[in-house]
């Protein structure tokens, strides 16, 4: 039976590092435009305690989201020892397109996937390139789509990318701006009929009642700012409560479909959104099986890289695979889960054996 396996990974981590202390002089406001009663040092300390974020990375002004995607893709292609002309699909997950430094418009014409194909110099017209907008779970969903194409017999090799420059769509007056960062991660997904490394199962859901607007594009909290410019906004408490209930259930659906025991799960690569939220999700997931959370099961990169949306999981995977996360490794035969939640509200999970 045809399945899919990941044969190469790559990541691009931007060079500009912004530490929490660099937000001390920002003028944070409440949604109604009023000033916080707490000082910035208190706000920042509470922020770190909840999210775990100490610093984040921003792209240099000369690089856009599609550039980051291209740089990560080159590494994934090299890691897979693949000729780019052999690719059947390029699937690029993002949310805001190319936003140039200081611009107020997003640029998605042509698609970012088409731009990556152009930058890679691929001449094959049968290599189909397209974007997906699926919130933070976009890269995971791209891998699920690649698997579907492969199982349908219409593809053998796919490049799946998650890339974003969130630093260019944040409202500097909103303290949530400290969460977001830039980055890109990519992988090659190939057909396989052998036993061993492959996707075992997956699950995806979209909740689009009131949850659809837990993440949205909104005005600056500064009432004197340009009213026609929009920024990424979120209802943090509602997202936390939604994720805590629904993500563990989706993970369980995927694991149950795989016929793999919870005891075999060695790693969970969860979207790096908020350390406390991720810890709570994993704890609740294992509780569904009446198990305690195994030590070291959840690699984390959020402390140094922040939340780069669709890029967090593929970037983390690449870092762990290449031994760049302390005390974390993947061995042959290990079962891992990829899981994410974000705008939509969408959530998904993949059970994978290396």
| Distance (Å, whole) CA 298 – CA 270 | 7
At 241 the pLDDT is 96
Residue 114's H or E segment, with its range, is helix 112-120
Q: Return the pLDDT at 78.
A: 98
SS3 232: strand
At 206 the three-state DSSP class reads strand
Calpha distance 19→130 (Å, rounded): 35
Which domains does the chain carry?
Answer: 3-195 (3.40.47.10), 199-353 (3.40.47.10)
In the block, which residue shows the tokens 């294992």? Answer: 286
Local mean pLDDT, 10-residue blocks, the chain (354 residues): 94 97 92 89 93 96 97 98 97 96 86 98 98 97 98 96 96 94 98 90 97 94 87 94 97 96 97 95 97 95 97 98 93 96 96 96
- For residue 255, the model assigns a pLDDT of 97
| Chain centroid, CA 233 distance in Å | 17
Distance of alpha carbon 94 from alpha carbon 105, whole angstroms: 15
pLDDT digits (tens, 9 = 90+) for 136-184: 999 999 999 999 999 999 999 999 999 999 999 999 999 999 999 999 9
Count of C-beta atoms within a 10 Å radius of residue 128? 18
**Helix, strand, coil share (%) of the chain residues, nearest 5:** 35, 25, 40
Q: Are 341 and 273 in contact (CB under 8 A)?
A: yes
Give the chain's length: 354
Ramachandran class of 334: left when φ > 0, alpha when ψ lies in -120 to 50, beta otherwise = beta
What integer pLDDT is reported at residue 37 of this predicted model?
86
- What is residue 66's three-state secondary structure? helix
Measuring CA to CA, which residue among 48, 7, 324 is closest to residue 160? 7
Angle, CA of 47, 281 and 182, to the nearest 5°: 50
Q: Which pLDDT value is given to residue 119?
A: 98
**Residue closest to 158 by CA, chosen among 93, 216, 225:** 93
Query: Edge to edge, what strands does the sheet with 346-353 contain?
Result: 198-206, 346-353, 335-342, 265-270
First to last CA, the chain: 17
Instruction: Specify the pLDDT at position 170.
Output: 94
């Amino acid at each position: 039976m045809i399945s899919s396996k990941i044969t190469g990974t790559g990541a691009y981590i931007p060079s500009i590092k912004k530490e929490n202390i660099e937000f001390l002089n920002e003028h944070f406001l409440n949604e109604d435009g009023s000033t916080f009663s707490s000082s910035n040092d208190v706000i920042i300390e509470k922020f770190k305690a909840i999210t775990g974020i100490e610093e984040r990375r921003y792209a240099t002004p000369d690089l856009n989201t599609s550039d980051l995607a291209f740089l990560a893709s080159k590494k994934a292609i090299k890691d897979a020892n693949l000729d780019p002309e052999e690719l059947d699909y390029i699937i690029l997950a993002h949310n805001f397109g190319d936003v140039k430094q200081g611009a107020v418009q997003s640029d998605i014409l042509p698609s970012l996937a088409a731009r990556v194909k152009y930058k890679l110099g691929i001449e094959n017209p049968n290599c189909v390139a397209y974007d997906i907008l699926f919130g933070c779970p976009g890269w995971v969903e791209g891998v699920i789509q690649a698997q579907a194409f492969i199982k349908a017999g219409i593809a053998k090799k796919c490049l799946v990318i998650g890339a974003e420059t969130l630093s260019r769509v944040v409202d500097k007056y909103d303290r949530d701006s400290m969460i977001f960062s830039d980055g890109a991660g990519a992988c090659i997904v190939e057909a396989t009929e052998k036993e061993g490394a492959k996707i075992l199962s997956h699950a995806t859901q979209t909740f689009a009642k009131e949850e659809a607007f837990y993440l949205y594009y909104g005005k600056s909290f500064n009432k004197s700012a340009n009213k026609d410019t929009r920024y990424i906004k979120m209802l943090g408490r509602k997202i936390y409560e939604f994720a805590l209930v629904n993500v563990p259930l989706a993970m369980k659906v995927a694991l149950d479909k795989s016929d793999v025991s919870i005891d075999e799960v060695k790693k969970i690569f969860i979207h790096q959104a908020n350390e406390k939220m991720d810890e709570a999700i994993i704890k609740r997931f294992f509780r569904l099986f009446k198990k305690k959370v195994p030590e070291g099961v959840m690699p984390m990169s959020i402390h140094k890289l922040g939340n780069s949306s669709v890029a967090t999981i593929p970037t983390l995977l690449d870092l762990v695979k290449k031994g760049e996360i302390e005390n974390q490794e993947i061995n042959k035969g290990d079962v891992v889960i990829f899981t994410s939640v974000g705008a939509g509200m969408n959530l998904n999970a993949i059970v994978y054996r290396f």
